[in-house]
């Protein structure tokens, strides 16, 4: 039986270095960590805020297309050592992000609302397209 070491919280810069392999010093270390996570020897938490920031950096900073971002991050979410609070909602949000013009935060909110049976309260009418309960404040 493998002993799994207690992990920490992943930051955006680790994910970006891993995904883009663009830094000669940091990328190999990020890759090594991700290999340990893939093998289940370690665990680390991926917070939704970090996921959202990673999407923003990849899309706005590096011009990575939405479907490619969704694929890359869905693969990371599926790594055995990656922990996230709502894996199903995160995967659903990434799928919606890849096929709509809605931003990742709205996709995450809609997916979380659906999974928890809640209503999103927002002035943003994009939620109509995201298939969740939605209302404007009144």
What is the rounded average pLDDT of the residues 105-114?
95
> What's the CA gap between 70 and 85, in Å, rounded?
18
- The predicted structure's pLDDT at residue 24: 97
For domain 1-85, the CATH class is: alpha beta
Could you state, in order of their start, the residue ranges of all structural domains in the chain? 1-85
pLDDT in tens, 44-63: 999 999 999 999 999 999 99
Q: What is the pLDDT of residue 1?
A: 42
Q: What percent of the chain has pLDDT over 70?
A: 96
Axis-axis angle for helices 87-99, 104-116 (nearest 10): 140
Residue 4 has pLDDT above 80, yes or no: no
> How does the average pLDDT of the chain come out, rounded?
93
């Amino acid at each position: 039986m493998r002993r799994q070491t207690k992990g920490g919280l992943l930051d955006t810069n680790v994910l970006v270095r891993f995904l883009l392999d663009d830094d000669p010093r940091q990328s190999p270390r990020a890759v090594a960590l991700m290999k340990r996570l893939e093998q289940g020897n370690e665990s680390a938490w991926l917070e939704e805020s970090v996921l959202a920031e990673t999407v923003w950096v990849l899309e706005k900073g590096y011009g990575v297309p939405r479907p490619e971002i969704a694929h890359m991050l869905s693969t990371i979410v599926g790594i055995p050592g990656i922990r996230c609070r709502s894996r199903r909602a995160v995967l659903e949000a990434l799928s919606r992000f890849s096929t709509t013009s809605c931003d990742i935060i709205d996709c995450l909110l809609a997916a979380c609302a659906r999974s928890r049976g809640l209503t999103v309260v927002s002035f943003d009418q994009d939620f109509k397209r995201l298939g969740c309960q939605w209302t404007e404040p009144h």
